[in-house]
Structure 1
Amino acid sequence: MTEVGTDDDTQLEFERGTGVLYVFGRQVKRFRMRLGMNREELGLVTGYSPATIASIEQGRRIPSDHFIDKADEMLDASEVLKEMKEEIRKARYPLFFQGAATLEREAVELHAYDSQVVNGLLQTEDYARCVFEMHRPALDDETIERRLAARMLRQEVFTKGSVSLMSYVMEEVVLRRPIGGTCVMRGQLERILQVGQKRNVDVQVMPTNREEHAGLAGPFKLIETSEGRRIAYAEVQKSSTLYTERKSVRELEAQYGIIRAQALTPSESMAFIERLLGET
């Protein structure tokens, strides 16, 4: 079984404030007005500006878990707002990625091959911002900030998640492509080295001069959940696919194994990145 994601038009329509964000915002406004509380007062107890409160109430900004908890408490919402927390978490991601993001957060194993840019879980904030700013057609500032916040939030898997084993294989060209300029790339290479030192994380580099390469069909990731489900996810241009059929997943697992065997070993890769950092 495969699930194909939506195109960018549907995705952006969702991100502009439809669905659960709109409903959540209306609920916040209703509870606030019931108590006769203005936005400035709610902002003081939640740590948000009145303008941000307005954006949340209009369904244009995704609230944090902290805001949801504090707002539910201060507005005496009887956990009505808290009950929407999981759906709000999903809304942090583009529509096509929501299923994969949920699985990623719950994974016990996570493996990825990347050929264009550094994997999202390894990106620094500066690098990620540059990636989003290069999107064509261009994204508006609000969408960029929303996606950036979501990407940084995903990186909590390194500190709070249940993932016990991760591996990342990336093309040498990904590390040499100076996205954002020298300073941004130095920070990005340092970030990869930092994550690569974790005992449960392997980082590998696929040299450009390899004559045999099993990953020419493009990037993908493999996920195993705590229930033992094995899933694969791939994005190409405006569409994405979540593979759940065992045959398809098994083929990609075998492909990933070959890719890892063809790449530099983790220790060789870390040494390679250190040398590249010295040249940057």
Structure 2
Amino acid sequence: MRVDANSTERPGGEADEPGWDVDPDDESGAAVVATVGRQLRLRREAVGMRAADFGVAIGYGEDQVYKVEAGKRIPRQEYLDRADEVLGAGGLIAAMKKDVAEVRYPKKIRDLARMEAKAVEVAVYANHGIHGLLQTEGHARVLLETRQPAYSRNEVERGVAARIARRSIFDRSPAPALSFVQEEAALRRPIGGRMEWRRQLERLLEVGRLRNVSLQVMPLNCETHPGLDGGIEVLKFGDGTAVGRSEGAFNGRPVSDPKQLRILELRYGMIRAQALAPGESLAFIEQVLGET
């Protein structure tokens, strides 16, 4: 019996879900998935295998095979690996995993991850909760599960996977310069219960000790600072360009105009100056962890 991370287990090795539904509003992603599905169908028909037999061979139901081939569902990576093996494609189907991986997350998240992947500097002030790049998997899942209107199980899992995938920024070489300022209140909210709370604090300590990361805590006893009306995020790229956004400036829209970016950088600089120093911040997080 096989269990897929996003699947409902069924007898006989079949998985109810071989991937995520395609967002009809994501034209570029839908086009990629449709192309992959068409290639899978042509390969299957070329070897004379019926959809039902093919499904049994790779561990999925016939209906799910048809959905993938029709471009209605994004196949998971292991689906393509098994299809390549069963159809004797010699790696040609498995080679499509990279294209599929790039469109398996919502377009907005893909665009953000693409910018983060190119950034040489990232500056973040998170005012309400733990920033997405710093969240544990469990923390992210609880946040998505408590959204209203409620997300479907598929949307929750897709959102969690997208957030975890963004953490590859910490493994890049050369490493980008990453700066985070987190509000103390976010560290004290036990999202997911005591054990998950501890894991989240330990994750912050792990990231904060990286040589290319500056992690600071804005203490609650700081009466006022320039970030009270919204979080701030600024990404700088190797060609000298940059993009930034803040809920409290320019109607929350992303901006790239140098004059507008200077305003965000001014606010962020003042926030950093009022926050605890990085060393003090790590000591503070350790103190909170000891209190949990």
Any residues of structure 2 matched to 1:266-277 within 5 Å, and which?
266-277=278-289
The 1:12–1:211 alpha-carbon spacing in structure 2 relative to 1, beyond 3 Å, is farther
Q: Offset of 1:118 from its aligned partner?
A: 0.9
Instruction: For residue 50 of structure 1, give the secondary structure of its aligned residue in structure 2.
Output: coil
Is 1:95 aligned to residue 95 of structure 2?
A: no
TM-score (norm 2): 0.76
Shift of 1:276: 0.2
Match in the other structure for 1:217? 229
Conserved 8 A contact 1:100-1:242:
no
Task: Indicate the structure whose relative CO is greater, using CA pairs within 8 Å and at least 6 residues apart.
Answer: 1
Counterpart among 135, 143, 152 of residue 155 in structure 2: 143
Residue aligning to 1:59: 72
CA distance in 1, matches of 2:61, 2:273: 52
Contact conserved, 2:229 with 2:247, CA < 8 A, in 1? no
Give the 3 Å change call, closer, same or farther, for CA 133–51 of structure 1 in structure 2: farther
Q: Deviations over 1:211-270 (max 9, x none)?
A: 23110121121111222221113469xx96322222222211111111111111101110
Task: Summarize the Cα distance change of 1:233–1:102 in structure 2 as closer, same or farther, 3 Å threshold.
Answer: farther
Shift of 1:89: 4.2
**Paired residue secondary structure (1:24):** helix
Contact 2:81 2:93 survives alignment (8 Å): no
* Shift, 1:36, TM fit: 3.3
Distance (whole Å) between structure 1 residues aligned to residue 92 and residue 228 of structure 2 = 49
In 2, Cα distance between equivalents of 1:193 and 1:91: 32
Please tell me the residue identity of whatever aligns with 2:160: L
User: What is the aligned partner in structure 2 of residue 243 from structure 1?
Assistant: 255
In structure 1, C-alpha distance between the alignment counterparts of 2:84 and 2:114, rounded to whole Å: 24
TM-score for both structures, normalised by structure 1:
0.79
Corresponding residue for residue 50 of structure 1: 60
The alignment's C-alpha RMSD in Å is 3.2
User: How has the CA–CA distance of structure 1 residues 220 and 94 changed in structure 2, closer, same or farther, with 3 Å as cutoff?
Assistant: farther
Deviation at 1:176, TM superposition (A): 0.8
Q: Which residue of 2 aligns with 1:189?
A: 201
* Structure 2 CA distance for aligned equivalents of residues 253 and 72 of structure 1: 49
Task: Give yes or no for the alignment of 1:39 onto 2:49.
Answer: no
Distance 2:247 2:95 in 1: 32
Match among 108, 111, 114 for residue 123 of structure 2: 111
Change (3 A) 1:217 1:75: farther
SS state at 1:242 partner = coil
In terms of mean alpha carbon deviation, does 217-226 or 167-176 score higher? 217-226
Shift of 1:83: 6.8
Give the match for residue 7 of structure 1.
none
Alignment CA distance shift 1:217-1:276 (3 Å):
same
Q: Which has the larger radius of gyration?
A: 2
For 1:72 and 1:160, the matched residues in 2 are separated by 30
Gaps of 5+ in 1: 1-10, 44-48
